Amino acid sequence: MKLDKEELKGKTLSWALGQGIDTKIALLQHYQHLGYLLAEEIMAEEVRYLAGEPYSRNKPSGGRYSRWGTNPGSVQLEREKVPIEVQRLYDHERGGTIGLETYRKLHKMESPEAAVVDGIIKGLSMSDYQAVIGRLAESFGLSRSSVSLRFIEESSEKLKAFEERRLDDYQFVALFIDGKYLAREQIVIVLGVTIEGEKIPLGFLQTHTENSGPIKELLNKIIERGLDYEKGLLCVIDGSKGICKAVEETFGEKVVIQRCQWHKRENVLSYLKEEDQLVYKRRLNKAYQSDTYEDAREQLEQIVHDLEPLNLSAARSLSEGLEETLTIHRLGLKGLFGVSFSTTNIIENLNSQMGRYLRNVKRWQSSEQRYRWVACALLEIEGRMRKVINAKHLDVMAKAIQVEIEKR
Protein backbone atom coordinates (compact mmCIF):
# COMPACT_ATOMS: atom_id res chain seq x y z
CA MET A 1 0.00 0.00 0.00
CA LYS A 2 1.29 3.47 -0.92
CA LEU A 3 0.51 6.70 0.86
CA ASP A 4 0.61 10.13 -0.73
CA LYS A 5 1.32 13.29 1.26
CA GLU A 6 -1.81 14.84 -0.20
CA GLU A 7 -3.85 12.07 1.44
CA LEU A 8 -2.41 13.02 4.82
CA LYS A 9 -3.38 16.71 4.72
CA GLY A 10 -5.39 17.59 7.76
CA LYS A 11 -4.78 14.18 9.36
CA THR A 12 -3.10 13.69 12.74
CA LEU A 13 -1.40 10.88 14.61
CA SER A 14 -4.70 10.06 16.34
CA TRP A 15 -6.19 9.39 12.90
CA ALA A 16 -3.25 7.13 12.02
CA LEU A 17 -3.71 5.04 15.17
CA GLY A 18 -7.30 4.36 14.17
CA GLN A 19 -6.40 3.01 10.72
CA GLY A 20 -6.05 -0.58 9.61
CA ILE A 21 -2.87 -2.61 9.75
CA ASP A 22 -1.95 -1.99 6.08
CA THR A 23 -2.05 1.77 6.56
CA LYS A 24 0.04 1.56 9.73
CA ILE A 25 2.65 -0.60 8.00
CA ALA A 26 2.73 1.82 5.07
CA LEU A 27 3.35 4.67 7.51
CA LEU A 28 6.22 2.76 9.13
CA GLN A 29 7.76 2.20 5.71
CA HIS A 30 7.61 5.96 5.11
CA TYR A 31 8.37 7.21 8.58
CA GLN A 32 8.70 10.80 7.34
CA HIS A 33 4.92 10.63 7.00
CA LEU A 34 4.73 9.71 10.69
CA GLY A 35 6.73 12.82 11.51
CA TYR A 36 4.27 14.86 9.44
CA LEU A 37 1.29 13.40 11.31
CA LEU A 38 2.96 13.94 14.68
CA ALA A 39 3.62 17.59 13.80
CA GLU A 40 -0.06 17.97 12.85
CA GLU A 41 -1.05 16.31 16.14
CA ILE A 42 1.14 18.67 18.19
CA MET A 43 -0.35 21.76 16.54
CA ALA A 44 -3.91 20.37 16.74
CA GLU A 45 -3.45 19.85 20.46
CA GLU A 46 -2.56 23.53 20.93
CA VAL A 47 -5.56 24.59 18.85
CA ARG A 48 -7.89 22.41 20.96
CA TYR A 49 -6.39 23.83 24.14
CA LEU A 50 -7.02 27.43 23.03
CA ALA A 51 -10.18 27.17 20.92
CA GLY A 52 -11.76 23.90 22.03
CA GLU A 53 -13.08 21.10 19.85
CA PRO A 54 -14.52 22.03 16.43
CA TYR A 55 -18.23 22.99 16.50
CA SER A 56 -18.35 22.60 20.30
CA ARG A 57 -20.10 25.24 22.37
CA ASN A 58 -17.75 24.63 25.28
CA LYS A 59 -14.99 27.11 24.54
CA PRO A 60 -11.90 27.58 26.76
CA SER A 61 -11.02 31.05 28.06
CA GLY A 62 -14.58 32.30 27.59
CA GLY A 63 -14.44 31.90 23.80
CA ARG A 64 -11.48 34.24 23.43
CA TYR A 65 -9.98 32.25 20.52
CA SER A 66 -11.60 31.02 17.30
CA ARG A 67 -10.26 29.01 14.37
CA TRP A 68 -9.42 31.37 11.51
CA GLY A 69 -8.27 29.51 8.41
CA THR A 70 -4.78 28.25 7.65
CA ASN A 71 -1.44 29.46 6.32
CA PRO A 72 1.16 27.45 4.41
CA GLY A 73 4.21 26.50 6.44
CA SER A 74 6.96 23.90 6.61
CA VAL A 75 8.78 21.66 9.07
CA GLN A 76 12.16 19.95 8.81
CA LEU A 77 11.75 16.17 8.71
CA GLU A 78 14.98 14.23 8.26
CA ARG A 79 16.80 16.10 5.47
CA GLU A 80 13.77 17.62 3.78
CA LYS A 81 11.58 20.63 4.39
CA VAL A 82 8.02 19.31 4.28
CA PRO A 83 5.12 21.69 3.50
CA ILE A 84 2.38 21.75 6.11
CA GLU A 85 -0.84 23.70 6.66
CA VAL A 86 -0.75 25.77 9.84
CA GLN A 87 -3.98 26.60 11.66
CA ARG A 88 -4.54 30.26 12.49
CA LEU A 89 -6.46 31.51 15.51
CA TYR A 90 -8.31 34.77 16.01
CA ASP A 91 -7.89 36.53 19.36
CA HIS A 92 -11.21 38.33 20.02
CA GLU A 93 -9.77 40.15 23.02
CA ARG A 94 -6.89 41.76 21.13
CA GLY A 95 -8.63 41.87 17.77
CA GLY A 96 -6.25 40.01 15.47
CA THR A 97 -4.91 36.64 14.40
CA ILE A 98 -2.17 34.83 16.29
CA GLY A 99 0.29 32.11 15.29
CA LEU A 100 0.83 28.83 17.05
CA GLU A 101 3.70 28.59 19.51
CA THR A 102 4.08 24.90 18.67
CA TYR A 103 4.55 25.73 14.99
CA ARG A 104 7.28 28.24 15.78
CA LYS A 105 9.14 25.52 17.65
CA LEU A 106 8.57 22.93 14.94
CA HIS A 107 9.66 25.32 12.20
CA LYS A 108 12.98 26.00 13.94
CA MET A 109 13.58 22.33 14.65
CA GLU A 110 16.55 20.63 12.99
CA SER A 111 17.28 16.96 12.68
CA PRO A 112 20.36 15.99 14.73
CA GLU A 113 22.40 15.39 11.58
CA ALA A 114 21.60 18.85 10.21
CA ALA A 115 23.96 20.39 12.76
CA VAL A 116 26.86 18.10 11.86
CA VAL A 117 28.75 20.45 9.48
CA ASP A 118 28.38 23.42 11.80
CA GLY A 119 29.43 21.32 14.81
CA ILE A 120 32.48 19.85 13.11
CA ILE A 121 33.76 23.09 11.57
CA LYS A 122 33.33 25.10 14.77
CA GLY A 123 34.56 22.26 16.97
CA LEU A 124 37.74 21.92 14.96
CA SER A 125 38.91 25.34 16.09
CA MET A 126 39.32 23.74 19.52
CA SER A 127 39.95 20.05 18.89
CA ASP A 128 40.80 17.47 16.25
CA TYR A 129 38.51 15.80 13.73
CA GLN A 130 38.13 12.43 15.44
CA ALA A 131 37.50 14.03 18.85
CA VAL A 132 34.78 16.27 17.39
CA ILE A 133 33.19 13.35 15.53
CA GLY A 134 33.08 11.40 18.80
CA ARG A 135 31.45 14.22 20.75
CA LEU A 136 28.82 14.79 18.06
CA ALA A 137 28.05 11.09 17.77
CA GLU A 138 27.58 10.83 21.52
CA SER A 139 25.44 13.97 21.87
CA PHE A 140 23.23 13.16 18.85
CA GLY A 141 22.89 9.47 19.61
CA LEU A 142 24.41 8.61 16.22
CA SER A 143 27.25 6.35 15.17
CA ARG A 144 30.66 7.79 14.27
CA SER A 145 30.31 6.45 10.75
CA SER A 146 26.92 8.12 10.22
CA VAL A 147 28.27 11.47 11.48
CA SER A 148 31.29 11.19 9.16
CA LEU A 149 29.11 10.20 6.20
CA ARG A 150 26.69 13.01 6.90
CA PHE A 151 29.55 15.53 7.03
CA ILE A 152 30.89 14.32 3.70
CA GLU A 153 27.45 14.67 2.11
CA GLU A 154 26.74 18.08 3.61
CA SER A 155 30.21 19.48 2.92
CA SER A 156 30.00 18.23 -0.69
CA GLU A 157 26.72 20.14 -1.08
CA LYS A 158 28.32 23.26 0.43
CA LEU A 159 31.27 23.00 -1.96
CA LYS A 160 28.91 22.69 -4.93
CA ALA A 161 26.84 25.67 -3.76
CA PHE A 162 30.00 27.73 -3.16
CA GLU A 163 31.45 27.01 -6.60
CA GLU A 164 28.18 27.62 -8.44
CA ARG A 165 26.64 30.58 -6.65
CA ARG A 166 25.82 33.45 -8.97
CA LEU A 167 27.46 36.85 -8.63
CA ASP A 168 25.27 38.86 -11.02
CA ASP A 169 23.56 40.86 -8.26
CA TYR A 170 26.80 42.17 -6.75
CA GLN A 171 28.83 45.18 -7.80
CA PHE A 172 32.45 44.48 -6.93
CA VAL A 173 34.99 47.27 -6.64
CA ALA A 174 38.01 45.21 -5.58
CA LEU A 175 39.49 41.73 -5.48
CA PHE A 176 42.13 40.46 -3.07
CA ILE A 177 44.10 37.44 -4.28
CA ASP A 178 46.52 35.49 -2.11
CA GLY A 179 47.77 31.98 -1.44
CA LYS A 180 47.80 29.92 1.76
CA TYR A 181 49.58 26.63 2.40
CA LEU A 182 47.35 23.85 3.71
CA ALA A 183 49.10 20.55 4.47
CA ARG A 184 51.99 21.41 2.11
CA GLU A 185 49.63 22.31 -0.75
CA GLN A 186 48.92 25.90 -1.75
CA ILE A 187 45.34 27.17 -1.85
CA VAL A 188 44.92 30.42 -3.79
CA ILE A 189 41.83 32.37 -2.67
CA VAL A 190 39.98 35.22 -4.39
CA LEU A 191 38.08 37.55 -2.04
CA GLY A 192 35.74 40.19 -3.44
CA VAL A 193 34.73 43.51 -1.90
CA THR A 194 31.36 44.92 -2.97
CA ILE A 195 30.35 48.56 -3.35
CA GLU A 196 28.61 48.20 0.04
CA GLY A 197 31.86 47.03 1.66
CA GLU A 198 30.88 43.38 2.08
CA LYS A 199 33.70 40.82 1.83
CA ILE A 200 32.73 37.73 -0.16
CA PRO A 201 35.01 34.75 -0.93
CA LEU A 202 34.53 34.14 -4.66
CA GLY A 203 36.63 31.10 -5.38
CA PHE A 204 39.77 29.12 -4.63
CA LEU A 205 42.00 26.50 -6.18
CA GLN A 206 44.69 24.07 -5.15
CA THR A 207 47.99 24.67 -6.94
CA HIS A 208 51.55 23.67 -6.22
CA THR A 209 52.86 27.10 -7.25
CA GLU A 210 51.30 30.50 -7.99
CA ASN A 211 51.41 29.79 -11.72
CA SER A 212 49.40 32.18 -13.90
CA GLY A 213 47.57 29.44 -15.86
CA PRO A 214 45.46 27.89 -13.07
CA ILE A 215 44.80 31.30 -11.49
CA LYS A 216 43.62 32.69 -14.82
CA GLU A 217 41.30 29.69 -15.17
CA LEU A 218 39.91 30.36 -11.68
CA LEU A 219 39.27 34.04 -12.51
CA ASN A 220 37.50 33.10 -15.75
CA LYS A 221 35.22 30.72 -13.86
CA ILE A 222 34.33 33.54 -11.48
CA ILE A 223 33.54 35.77 -14.46
CA GLU A 224 31.30 33.03 -15.90
CA ARG A 225 29.35 33.09 -12.63
CA GLY A 226 28.52 36.76 -13.13
CA LEU A 227 31.46 38.90 -11.96
CA ASP A 228 31.11 42.21 -13.82
CA TYR A 229 34.40 44.09 -14.28
CA GLU A 230 33.52 46.36 -17.21
CA LYS A 231 33.60 49.48 -15.00
CA GLY A 232 37.00 48.49 -13.66
CA LEU A 233 38.38 46.59 -10.67
CA LEU A 234 41.09 47.22 -8.13
CA CYS A 235 43.12 44.04 -7.57
CA VAL A 236 45.25 43.87 -4.42
CA ILE A 237 48.00 41.25 -4.70
CA ASP A 238 51.20 40.31 -2.88
CA GLY A 239 53.50 40.82 -5.85
CA SER A 240 53.53 37.24 -7.13
CA LYS A 241 54.40 37.34 -10.84
CA GLY A 242 51.99 34.49 -11.57
CA ILE A 243 49.04 36.24 -9.90
CA CYS A 244 49.95 39.55 -11.54
CA LYS A 245 50.15 37.98 -15.00
CA ALA A 246 46.85 36.13 -14.52
CA VAL A 247 45.09 39.31 -13.41
CA GLU A 248 46.42 41.37 -16.32
CA GLU A 249 45.63 38.73 -18.94
CA THR A 250 42.13 38.14 -17.57
CA PHE A 251 40.93 41.71 -16.98
CA GLY A 252 43.15 43.57 -19.45
CA GLU A 253 42.73 47.33 -19.38
CA LYS A 254 39.88 47.06 -16.89
CA VAL A 255 42.12 46.29 -13.90
CA VAL A 256 44.12 48.57 -11.62
CA ILE A 257 46.71 46.72 -9.54
CA GLN A 258 47.76 47.60 -6.01
CA ARG A 259 50.86 45.71 -4.87
CA CYS A 260 50.95 44.97 -1.15
CA GLN A 261 53.17 47.52 0.59
CA TRP A 262 53.84 45.16 3.51
CA HIS A 263 55.14 42.39 1.22
CA LYS A 264 57.29 44.89 -0.70
CA ARG A 265 58.82 46.21 2.52
CA GLU A 266 59.56 42.70 3.84
CA ASN A 267 61.13 41.66 0.53
CA VAL A 268 63.44 44.67 0.56
CA LEU A 269 64.45 44.17 4.20
CA SER A 270 65.20 40.49 3.63
CA TYR A 271 68.30 41.50 1.64
CA LEU A 272 69.73 43.70 4.40
CA LYS A 273 71.84 43.06 7.46
CA GLU A 274 70.00 43.21 10.77
CA GLU A 275 71.51 46.56 11.77
CA ASP A 276 70.32 48.13 8.49
CA GLN A 277 66.85 46.61 8.57
CA LEU A 278 65.53 48.84 11.37
CA VAL A 279 66.69 52.04 9.62
CA TYR A 280 65.14 51.16 6.28
CA LYS A 281 62.00 49.73 7.83
CA ARG A 282 61.34 53.14 9.40
CA ARG A 283 62.08 54.95 6.15
CA LEU A 284 59.84 52.66 4.09
CA ASN A 285 57.00 52.96 6.60
CA LYS A 286 57.29 56.75 6.56
CA ALA A 287 57.23 56.83 2.76
CA TYR A 288 54.15 54.62 2.47
CA GLN A 289 52.36 56.60 5.20
CA SER A 290 52.76 59.82 3.23
CA ASP A 291 49.50 61.54 2.40
CA THR A 292 50.30 62.30 -1.22
CA TYR A 293 51.52 60.27 -4.15
CA GLU A 294 54.24 62.79 -5.00
CA ASP A 295 55.73 62.78 -1.49
CA ALA A 296 55.63 58.97 -1.22
CA ARG A 297 57.21 58.54 -4.66
CA GLU A 298 59.99 61.01 -3.91
CA GLN A 299 60.89 59.29 -0.63
CA LEU A 300 60.90 55.81 -2.20
CA GLU A 301 63.12 56.92 -5.07
CA GLN A 302 65.56 58.40 -2.54
CA ILE A 303 65.58 55.09 -0.65
CA VAL A 304 66.37 53.24 -3.90
CA HIS A 305 69.24 55.67 -4.51
CA ASP A 306 70.60 55.17 -0.97
CA LEU A 307 70.30 51.38 -1.16
CA GLU A 308 72.23 51.01 -4.42
CA PRO A 309 75.74 51.33 -2.89
CA LEU A 310 74.66 49.38 0.22
CA ASN A 311 72.82 46.43 -1.39
CA LEU A 312 71.96 46.44 -5.07
CA SER A 313 69.55 43.51 -4.71
CA ALA A 314 67.52 45.42 -2.12
CA ALA A 315 67.47 48.50 -4.36
CA ARG A 316 66.30 46.47 -7.35
CA SER A 317 63.64 44.77 -5.24
CA LEU A 318 62.20 48.14 -4.24
CA SER A 319 62.34 49.48 -7.80
CA GLU A 320 60.51 46.47 -9.24
CA GLY A 321 56.78 47.24 -9.20
CA LEU A 322 57.32 50.38 -7.11
CA GLU A 323 54.62 52.29 -9.00
CA GLU A 324 52.04 49.60 -8.31
CA THR A 325 52.67 49.84 -4.56
CA LEU A 326 51.48 53.46 -4.81
CA THR A 327 48.23 52.90 -6.73
CA ILE A 328 46.00 53.91 -3.82
CA HIS A 329 48.13 57.05 -3.39
CA ARG A 330 47.97 57.87 -7.12
CA LEU A 331 44.17 57.49 -7.18
CA GLY A 332 43.85 59.98 -4.32
CA LEU A 333 42.41 57.35 -1.99
CA LYS A 334 45.13 57.17 0.68
CA GLY A 335 43.10 59.02 3.32
CA LEU A 336 39.96 56.89 2.95
CA PHE A 337 41.35 53.48 2.02
CA GLY A 338 45.07 53.42 2.76
CA VAL A 339 44.54 51.10 5.73
CA SER A 340 42.32 48.56 3.96
CA PHE A 341 43.54 48.50 0.37
CA SER A 342 47.30 49.23 0.45
CA THR A 343 48.12 45.73 1.71
CA THR A 344 46.71 42.21 1.49
CA ASN A 345 45.92 42.27 5.24
CA ILE A 346 42.20 41.71 4.60
CA ILE A 347 42.74 38.37 2.88
CA GLU A 348 45.62 37.49 5.23
CA ASN A 349 43.12 37.79 8.06
CA LEU A 350 40.74 35.48 6.19
CA ASN A 351 43.58 32.99 5.70
CA SER A 352 44.42 33.17 9.39
CA GLN A 353 40.84 32.41 10.41
CA MET A 354 40.66 29.53 7.96
CA GLY A 355 43.90 28.16 9.40
CA ARG A 356 42.39 28.13 12.89
CA TYR A 357 39.43 26.07 11.68
CA LEU A 358 41.49 23.55 9.74
CA ARG A 359 44.70 23.22 11.74
CA ASN A 360 43.37 20.29 13.77
CA VAL A 361 42.61 18.08 10.81
CA LYS A 362 45.35 15.53 11.42
CA ARG A 363 45.06 13.66 8.18
CA TRP A 364 44.38 15.00 4.69
CA GLN A 365 43.38 12.10 2.47
CA SER A 366 42.56 13.69 -0.88
CA SER A 367 42.24 16.90 -2.86
CA GLU A 368 38.45 16.51 -2.80
CA GLN A 369 38.60 16.54 1.01
CA ARG A 370 40.65 19.74 0.96
CA TYR A 371 38.13 21.43 -1.32
CA ARG A 372 35.18 20.44 0.88
CA TRP A 373 36.82 21.65 4.06
CA VAL A 374 38.02 24.94 2.58
CA ALA A 375 34.56 25.72 1.16
CA CYS A 376 32.90 25.02 4.53
CA ALA A 377 35.44 27.16 6.39
CA LEU A 378 35.10 30.07 3.95
CA LEU A 379 31.30 30.03 4.17
CA GLU A 380 31.47 29.93 7.97
CA ILE A 381 33.91 32.86 8.07
CA GLU A 382 32.01 34.87 5.43
CA GLY A 383 28.99 35.27 7.69
CA ARG A 384 31.09 36.92 10.38
CA MET A 385 33.35 39.22 8.36
CA ARG A 386 32.93 42.93 8.95
CA LYS A 387 32.66 45.54 6.26
CA VAL A 388 35.82 47.30 5.15
CA ILE A 389 36.74 50.58 6.82
CA ASN A 390 34.95 53.60 5.28
CA ALA A 391 32.62 51.29 3.36
CA LYS A 392 30.09 54.09 2.84
CA HIS A 393 32.65 55.92 0.66
CA LEU A 394 33.43 53.06 -1.71
CA ASP A 395 31.57 54.86 -4.48
CA VAL A 396 34.51 57.31 -4.42
CA MET A 397 36.85 54.41 -5.10
CA ALA A 398 34.62 53.10 -7.89
CA LYS A 399 34.66 56.51 -9.60
CA ALA A 400 38.44 56.87 -9.21
CA ILE A 401 38.99 53.44 -10.78
CA GLN A 402 36.64 54.29 -13.63
CA VAL A 403 38.50 57.53 -14.33
CA GLU A 404 41.78 55.64 -14.33
CA ILE A 405 40.40 53.09 -16.80
CA GLU A 406 39.04 55.81 -19.10
CA LYS A 407 42.46 57.47 -19.25
CA ARG A 408 43.77 54.35 -20.91
Does 329 share its domain with 354? yes
C-alpha 255/C-alpha 268 separation (Å) is 26
Let me know whether 265 and 358 are in one domain.
yes
pLDDT at position 42: 84
Are 279 and 400 within one domain? yes
Whether 294 and 383 map to the same domain: the answer is yes
Burial class (CB in 10 A: 0-12, 13-18, 19+), 367: exposed
Number of domains into which the chain is organized:
3
pLDDT attached to residue 83: 84
Is there a single domain that holds both residue 233 and residue 89? no
Q: Which of 99, 130, 163 is the last residue of a domain?
A: 163
**206, 80: one domain:** no
Boundary (domain end) residue, out of 93, 109, 125: 109
Statement to judge: residues 150 and 29 lie in one domain: no
Interatomic CA distance for residues 261 and 324, integer angstroms: 9
Question: Block means of pLDDT (10 residues each) for the chain, length 408 residues?
Answer: 59 66 58 70 88 87 90 76 86 90 79 61 67 63 68 87 95 95 87 97 89 93 97 94 95 97 97 96 98 98 98 97 97 97 95 85 87 91 92 97 93
299 and 371 inside one domain: yes
- Same domain flag for 68 and 84: yes
The H or E element containing residue 6 is: helix 5-8
Q: Are residues 300 and 337 in the same domain?
A: yes
Q: Are residues 145 and 253 in the same domain?
A: no
pTM of the model: 0.72
Query: What pLDDT score does 138 carry?
Result: 63
- pLDDT of 364: 85
DSSP secondary structure string for all residues of 226-258: T---TT-EEEEE---HHHHHHHHHHHGGGEEEE
Q: Looking at the structure, tell me whether residues 220 and 361 fall in a common domain.
A: yes
**How many CB atoms are located within 10 Å of the residue 160 CB?**
12
Q: Provide the residue range defining the domain that includes 257.
A: 171-407
SS3 141: coil
Compute φ and ψ for 237, nearest 5 degrees: -130, 165
Q: Check residue 258 and give its pLDDT.
A: 98
User: What is the predicted pLDDT for the residue at 143?
Assistant: 67
**378 contacts 357 by C-beta, under 8 angstroms:** no
Q: What is the structure's pLDDT at 9?
A: 65
What is the spatial distance between Cα 369 and Cα 374, in angstroms, rounded to a whole number?
9
What region, left, alpha or beta, does residue 115 occupy, with left being phi > 0 and alpha being psi -120 to 50 degrees?
Answer: alpha
